[in-house]
Amino acid sequence: MYSGLDFAANSEPVIRFAFWSGFCAVVLTLMFIARIAVLRMALRRNERRKQAFLSVWRALLTESALATIDPSRLPAISAQDVVFFLSYWNHLQNSLRGDTRERLNYLARTAGIDHAVRRMLKDGDNAERLLAIVSLVHLGDKTDTVVLKDLLVSEQPIACLHAARALLHIDPGALGELMPIIVERNDLPTAAVANILNEAGPDAISPLLADMLRNAFLQGAAAQYMVRLIALTAAAHPSVVYPSLCGIMDKTGDIEVLAACLKSVRTPAELPRIRQLIRHPDWRVRVHAVSALGDMGEKSDLELLKNLLSDSQWWVRYRAAQAISRLPFVTVDDLNEMRAHLDDNFAVDMLGQVVSERTS
């Protein structure tokens, strides 16, 4: 190498430059290889540690889930092993019910895990924090709610979601404070928020959602936000949120908001409006109106739906055919007869497909 350096200093600039960049590449390569080796060794060490931990604790955890165990039999848990303990412990908590969970909590407290969890929540890295939040759910200690509330405004969506869920489990009363936060944070996926609201239950969320809907609409909130709110009403009691939804349908000029309402509202009281909207110029509205009519339509609506079998939009035709076949008073024979008397080819095809789907 020495002679190499020597020559590199003496040649033309281009050769020198080339040599040194190649040299850097080699040094970097060696560093990368060293890093790979270090990572692999750490991985193996961690794996061995985990196996060692499990060989002792697997039986203990299983046993203590099923019967109260004598605390003196529990070995001490080192700080590094807390993560292993918690993932196993959480897993059992999630799969079991009833007094087993109390026994598992008792075990965690006697082993001093609850303090370790709180330490992890304060000082741990992201992953450890999440694990700690999830564990707090099972421990169910009301004193932890303060920390969890702070986490609701965490920059990380995932931490916020877990904190929200944990809060609700520990203290259902926190819903009023928590709901506006998670609904308004648009970095939280609607689906995830819906799941949390589902867990909270319709009794708790319905009045809150109805209020939020009314206020948001009055204040002229953005269509995107309205659509999200309306989608979330699926988890609520219909009787509580429908008045707000109907109020919105009366006044809104936004196609997407209207379509979202039509998707959510299922009450015969709205039938007159739905029958009207079935002729709406925008097909996105027609599709949802047709589906709604399929869920609640009466005998007299059959003609309306039949007309839509020849709509210009495929989706409207498809939903209309499905809607007809869903009507409780329409039998497969009716469908076949209807098909025989239609003179529109699209409609015939569509009904044929739906009959076939229904008989499958």
Partner 1 sequence: MIVEDDEHIAQLLEFLFQREGFGTSCASDGQAAEQMIECGPPPVLILLDVMLPYQDGFHLLKHIRRQPKWETIPIIMLTAKSQESDIVRALDAGANDYVVKPFQPSELVARVKRLLKVQP
Partner 2 sequence: MISSLIEIGEWIFLLYFIGLNGGYLALNFLSLISLSRLMRNRMIDDLPQFYSGLEPPISLLVPAFNEQSSIAASVHSMLQLSYQEFEIIVINDGSKDDTLKVLEREFSLIPFPEAYHQQLATQPIRGVYRSTRYNNLRVIDKDNGGKADSLNAGINAARYPLFCAVDADSILQRDSLQKVAQPFLEDSLVVATGGSIRIANGCQVSNGFLQKVDLPKKILPLLQIVEYLRAFLFGRMGWSPLNAMLIISGAFGLFKKNVVIEAGGYRTNTIGEDMELVVRIHRLYRLAKKPYRIVFVPDPICWTEAPEDLTTLKNQRVRWQRGLLESLSLNIGLLCHYRGGAVGWLAFPFMLLFEALGPIVELTGYVFMFALFLSGMISGQALWVFLFVAIGFGILLSVSGLLLEEMTFHIYPRPRHLLLLLFVVLIENFGYRQLNSWWRLVGLALWTGGGKAKWGEMKRTGAWQK
Closest to 267 (Cα-Cα) out of 242, 248, 291, 284: 242
Instruction: Tell me: does residue 308 bind partner 2 (CB under 8 A).
Output: no
Give the one entry of partner 1, partner 2, none that residue 58 binds, where binding means its C-beta sits below a cut-off of 5 to 8 angstroms depending on kind. partner 1
Give the one entry of partner 2, partner 1, none that residue 98 binds, where binding means its C-beta sits below a cut-off of 5 to 8 angstroms depending on kind. partner 1
Instruction: Tell me: does residue 26 bind partner 2 (CB under 8 A).
Output: yes
- Gap between the Cα atoms of 96 and 99, Å rounded: 9
Which CB sits closer to partner 1, 103 or 317?
Answer: 103
Instruction: Tell me: does residue 18 bind partner 1 (CB under 8 A).
Output: no
Q: Name which of residues 48 to 67 contact partner 2 (CB under 8 A).
A: none
Closest CB 347 distance from partner 1, rounded Å: 31
Q: Name which of residues 173 to 192 contact partner 2 (CB under 8 A).
A: 189, 191-192
Give the one entry of partner 1, partner 2, none that residue 126 binds, where binding means its C-beta sits below a cut-off of 5 to 8 angstroms depending on kind. partner 2
Own/partner contacts of 103-110, CB < 8 Å, gap of 24 or more, are: 103/64, 103/65, 103/66, 103/67, 103/68, 104/61, 104/64, 104/65, 104/138, 105/138, 105/139, 105/140, 106/64, 106/68, 107/61, 107/64, 107/65, 107/69, 107/74, 108/135, 108/139, 110/71, 110/74
Q: Within a 10 A sphere around the Cβ of 68, how many other Cβ atoms?
A: 13
Q: Which of 53, 85, 242, 318 binds partner 2 (CB under 8 A)?
A: 318
Q: Which of 2, 6, 21, 281 binds partner 2 (CB under 8 A)?
A: 21
Instruction: Tell me: does residue 56 bind partner 1 (CB under 8 A).
Output: no
Residue 358 contacts by C-beta under 8 Å, 6 or more apart in sequence?
325, 332, 335
Ramachandran area for residue 342 (φ above 0: left; ψ -120 to 50: alpha; else beta): beta
- What tokens were used for 154? 């965490």
- Gap between the Cα atoms of 89 and 84, Å rounded: 8
- Burial, 48: exposed, middle or buried (Cβ in 10 Å; 0-12, 13-18, 19+)? exposed
Closest CB 48 distance from partner 1, rounded Å: 18
Instruction: Tell me: does residue 58 bind partner 1 (CB under 8 A).
Output: yes
Closest CB 182 distance from partner 2, rounded Å: 11
Instruction: Tell me: does residue 138 bind partner 2 (CB under 8 A).
Output: no
Which CB sits closer to partner 1, 96 or 348?
Answer: 96
Give the one entry of partner 2, partner 1, none that residue 278 binds, where binding means its C-beta sits below a cut-off of 5 to 8 angstroms depending on kind. none
- Gap between the Cα atoms of 67 and 90, Å rounded: 17
Give the one entry of partner 1, partner 2, none that residue 251 binds, where binding means its C-beta sits below a cut-off of 5 to 8 angstroms depending on kind. none
Residue 223 contacts by C-beta under 8 Å, 6 or more apart in sequence?
254, 256, 257
- Gap between the Cα atoms of 287 and 277, Å rounded: 10
Closest CB 192 distance from partner 1, rounded Å: 19
Instruction: Tell me: does residue 40 bind partner 2 (CB under 8 A).
Output: yes
- Gap between the Cα atoms of 11 and 7, Å rounded: 6
Summarize as ranges the residues that interact with partner 1 (CB under 8 A). 58-59, 62-63, 65-66, 88, 91-92, 94-100
Kindly list the residues in this chain that would bind partner 2 in the complex (CB under 8 A): 7, 11-12, 14-15, 17-19, 21-23, 25-26, 28-29, 32-33, 35-36, 39-40, 43, 83, 87, 90-91, 94, 125-127, 130-131, 134, 157-158, 161-162, 165, 189, 191-192, 194-196, 314, 317-318, 321, 346, 349-350, 352-353, 355-356, 360
